[in-house]
Chain A
Amino acid sequence: MIDHGDWPIIVLTLRAAALSTLFILPPGIALAWLLARRDWPGKSIVETAVALPLVIPPVATGLILLRLFGRHGPLGAFLTGTLGIEIIFTPRAVVLAAAVMSFPLLVRTARVAFAEVPSRLEQIALTLGASPWRVFATITLPLARRGILAGALLAFARALGEFGATILIAGNIPGHTSTIALAIYSLIQLGRDAAALHLLAISLGIAFLAVWASEFFIRSRRP
């Protein structure tokens, strides 16, 4: 059973993961297509940079984000000073950390999905008078949709469990920025192991469903 007090934490976590996945979908799909279908200068550098959050310590990614989006950081100064949008230590920071950490998983999975679409079909669609945009919308995207969906679910699952970057730029403010992962950490610190295990079980259940769904879409991809 889910405790009454756990609901806000679960809702915050699910909402942050869902929002971060929604935000990264358009740029993720665009970048995945560019990596799969086009050759351009600096492609390998962008490819490597996008994969970095997978391999560098999440806390290090958090530090980079703190420097960029902090009040005196180049992006933070603009967002706070010009648009009046605070990022650091707000729920937006939870979404931002989750988005950055899960972006590589979406891009890598979607890139494979785009690469598997036979370019012959796109060429034939062009000879039938379809503009490149129409070809993308009616041929490429539908044929890659299962792979993209699998990537989005994987990104969502990764976002659910994000900890290192989140704790640095969002803090661990109960009811405000405290996600399941952060709440488990707090509960262990306070010696409330039973409550921590309870949240762990919930976290495992949600993550299992997301990863299972992702695997389902990867496996059922058209040949």
Chain B
Amino acid sequence: MILELRDIRLPLPDFTLGLSATLPGPVTGIFGPSGAGKTTLLEIIAGLRRPASGTVTFATRLLDNPARRIYIPAHRRAIGYVPQDAALFPHLSVRANLLYGARRSSSSPTTLTLPAVTGTLDLHPLLDHPIHALSGGEKQRIAIARAILASPALLLLDEPLASLDRALKDRILPYLQRLRTAFGIPILYVSHHLDEIAVLCDHLLVLDRGQCTHIGPVSQLITPIDRPAFALR
């Protein structure tokens, strides 16, 4: 994966999101305090928000360039997005949720089939459950599986563990680690927990009040004793 953000600018109520960064992947963490602009950045990359200026390029494909009136809509980007609250479709079954975006995956690798993905994320027992009967952790795993089954070229995970308690986090983290090896989909992983990023990510971008303060390999930015080699305001 090479995701290139060049001179991205978007005024927000409290500050202006403004950054340039090249994210080599395969799994890049975006770290920062609440309200740093992490979700907004993901929404720009997913095509759910348009930057005021700047360009977004993914694997040589120009996705955004307001100056040249280029904007690839979200449904044509092949960029999966899993929000913090899972956002499962409440009127559909678990199976229908999982298969919602799977239509276009006929040409995708065989690793991205329903049995393969539900197997990896341990979802087989849940396929016939109603959405309202699922726990928070189950909902998150289904949301991640749903995004993967749409065969995204890039997967954006927006604090997928934020609403879960410690015990549940420890149970879901291994599933996320499996994603890396099982499907080979590049991932942008947003979190405000460095321990998650240290376990899952190769690169790290630190965002504070809409600005990129640090960027580099996780091994350089997070020391072995899990203490960041940077400080936030």
Contact = CB atoms under 8 A, between A and B. Distances in A.
B74 A126 contact: yes
B83 A124 contact: yes
B74 A127 contact: yes
Contacts of B74: 123, 126-127
Contacts of A222: 90-91
Given A123-B48, A142-B91, A128 B147 contact: yes
Contacts of B79: 127
B215 interface: no
Nearest to B105: A129
A74 interface: no
A123 B74 CA distance: 8
Interface string B103-134: 11000000000000000000000000000000
B85 interface: yes
B75 A121 contact: no
Query: Could you tell me the dominant secondary structure of chain B's interface residues?
Result: loop
Interface string A77-117: 00000000000000000000000000000000000000000
Contact of A128 (B83, B85, B150): B150
Chain A contact surface mostly: helix
B31 interface: no
Contacts of A131: 75
B100 A121 contact: no
Given A123-B74, A127-B81, A130-B75, A143 B91 contact: yes
B101 interface: yes
A135 B104 CA distance: 15
A4 interface: no
Interface residues of B, number: 24
B112 to A, nearest CB: 13
Contact of B80 (A121, A123, A127): A127
Interface string B4-18: 000000000000000
B160 to A, nearest CB: 13
A120 B85 contact: yes
B146 interface: yes
Nearest to A223: B90
A124 B75 contact: no
B147 A127 contact: yes
A127 B157 CA distance: 12
Interface of B: 46-48, 73-75, 77-81, 83, 85, 87, 89-91, 100-101, 103-104, 146-147, 150
9 contacts: A118-B87, A120-B83, A120-B87, A121-B87, A123-B74, A126-B47, A127-B46, A130-B75, A130-B101
